[in-house]
């Protein structure tokens, strides 16, 4: 049985104070380590730990599955009856803003590169399209509070943004040694099918869904040479509450299954974010060039303006922002989405083969963490109303 105490525990991992210390400590540690003892840092990141898998793989391809799963759970909650993105018409504005958060940075990147860049920089156009979901989520909760509709709006935007980013990598930056294998996507469909069957059977353990449905999805995405971090995003919707008229007891179990998932997986994410920071933020302050500033400006200016303009456009098209979200909230959300950091670091790594260009692009991605401070200051100046 789940009581009031368990209901409160459900959302422990979503409070900013739970994220701030592990995540930011990991980022700071990685930056210091990579600059003071670079050889030691890179040796550690790529040292085999379990079953021949290195630290970087375990964090980015396994641990992040659970993080995106928790993020997906928050999105599912927001689109259920009573949620900030319900009815689904309200979610459209976030997806339209996502498009702006991609088009805007790309436009700014090409414009700046034509003015001050180089033809060698062209392959980096996708770097500023990314949003770091972990840090952006943290900053959004610091600015808006846990229950502000802007948080769910940003979360959906960030997950959709990263999904598009993974697609961009697959289409525009394919690894010639590991081309996409679409046949493996049948296993993804099979995993979703298993989750559907478990739901119909009324399975009451979230681990049944994680293992029975999530594992096949992960294997399918990995072998298709698509990043498997989003594996549980396909499974989490099956954990959501749905009215069941035949049995009140089954209805209770279905209603609480999403809570069970957050209770069990939340602590893993809470404390694991330090290794996420260590694994992804280790960039040396050595390769700063005009490419660095192009990437940074494309993130700050392109993301903010793109999200704000497209989000505003969605209202004119008949898709309003969530109730309680104003124009100033949308603007600050755009600033928060400019935090590219880790996902942008990943795109930088596949976009450039030249170590100098790769390092310069990564520095721009790292500096984009400064958008957090800009967004916090903007939130104070615009007197954003926090909702806890």
Q: Does residue 156 sit within a domain?
A: yes
Domain assignment present for 268: yes
List the single range of 75-79, 238-242, 251-255 with lowest mean pLDDT. 251-255
Per-residue model confidence (pLDDT) at position 241: 58
388 part of a folded domain: no
Give me the domain span that covers residue 376.
4-381
For the question of whether the overall pTM of this predicted structure is more than 0.85, the answer is no
**pLDDT by residue (tens digit) across 63-99?**
989 988 888 887 888 777 777 677 777 789 999 999 9
- Domain assignment present for residue 87? The answer is yes
Tokens of 141: 């909760």
pLDDT score of 132: 86
pLDDT at residue 238 above 70? yes
Instruction: Report yes or no on 266 lying in a domain.
Output: yes
| pLDDT tens per residue, range 332-381 | 999 999 999 877 887 888 888 888 898 899 899 989 999 999 999 999 99
At 266, which CATH number? 1.20.1530.10
Q: Is residue 387 part of a domain?
A: no
Which residues have a Cβ under 8 Å from the Cβ of 228 and sit 6 or more positions away?
Answer: 61, 65, 217, 218, 219, 221, 222
Q: Could you tell me if residue 386 is inside a domain?
A: no
* pLDDT computed for residue 255 by the predictor: 54
The pLDDT confidence band at residue 129, using thresholds 50, 70 and 90, is very high
Number of structural domains (the chain) is 1
Angle, alpha carbons 262-195-160 (nearest 5°)? 65
Provide φ and ψ at 339, rounded to 5°: -75, 100
pLDDT beyond 80 at 138: yes
Q: Which residues pair with 54 in a beta bridge?
A: 48
What's the full length of the chain, in residues? 388
What pLDDT score was predicted for residue 311? 95
180 inside domain: yes
């Amino acid at each position: 049985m789940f009581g009031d105490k368990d209901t409160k525990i459900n959302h422990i991992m979503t409070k900013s104070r739970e994220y701030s210390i592990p995540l930011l400590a990991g980022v700071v540690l990685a930056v210091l380590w990579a600059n003071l003892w670079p050889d030691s840092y890179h040796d550690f990141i790529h040292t085999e730990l379990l079953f021949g898998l290195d630290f970087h793989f375990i964090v980015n391809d396994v641990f992040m599955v659970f993080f995106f799963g928790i993020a997906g759970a928050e999105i599912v909650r927001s689109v259920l009856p009573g949620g900030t993105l319900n009815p689904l018409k309200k979610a459209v504005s976030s997806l339209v803003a996502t498009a702006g958060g991609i088009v805007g940075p790309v436009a700014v990147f090409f414009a700046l590169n034509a003015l001050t860049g180089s033809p060698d920089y062209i392959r980096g156009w996708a770097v500023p399209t990314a949003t770091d979901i972990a840090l952006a989520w943290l900053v959004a909760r610091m600015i808006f509070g846990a229950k502000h509709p802007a948080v769910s709006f940003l979360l959906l935007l960030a997950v959709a943004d990263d999904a598009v980013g993974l697609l961009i990598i697959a289409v525009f930056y394919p690894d010639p040694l590991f081309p996409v294998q679409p046949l493996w996507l049948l296993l993804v469909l099979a995993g979703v099918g298993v989750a559907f069957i478990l739901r119909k059977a009324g399975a009451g353990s979230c681990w049944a869904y994680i293992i029975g449905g999530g594992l096949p999805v992960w294997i399918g995405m990995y072998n298709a040479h698509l990043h498997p971090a989003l594996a549980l995003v396909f499974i989490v919707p099956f954990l959501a509450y749905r009215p069941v008229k035949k049995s009140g007891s089954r209805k209770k179990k279905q209603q609480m299954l999403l809570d069970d998932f957050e209770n069990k997986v939340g602590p893993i994410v809470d404390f694991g974010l330090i290794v996420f920071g260590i694994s992804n933020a280790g960039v040396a302050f050595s390769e700063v060039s005009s490419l660095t500033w192009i990437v940074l400006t494309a993130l700050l200016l392109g993301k903010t303006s793109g999200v704000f303009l497209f989000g505003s456009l969605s209202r004119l098209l008949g898709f309003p922002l969530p109730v309680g979200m104003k124009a100033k909230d949308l603007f600050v959300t755009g600033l928060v989405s400019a935090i590219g950091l880790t996902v942008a670091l990943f795109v930088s790594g596949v976009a450039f083969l030249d170590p100098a260009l790769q390092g310069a692009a990564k520095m721009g991605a790292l500096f984009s963490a400064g958008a957090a401070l800009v967004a916090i200051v903007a939130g104070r100046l615009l007197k954003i109303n926090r909702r806890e």
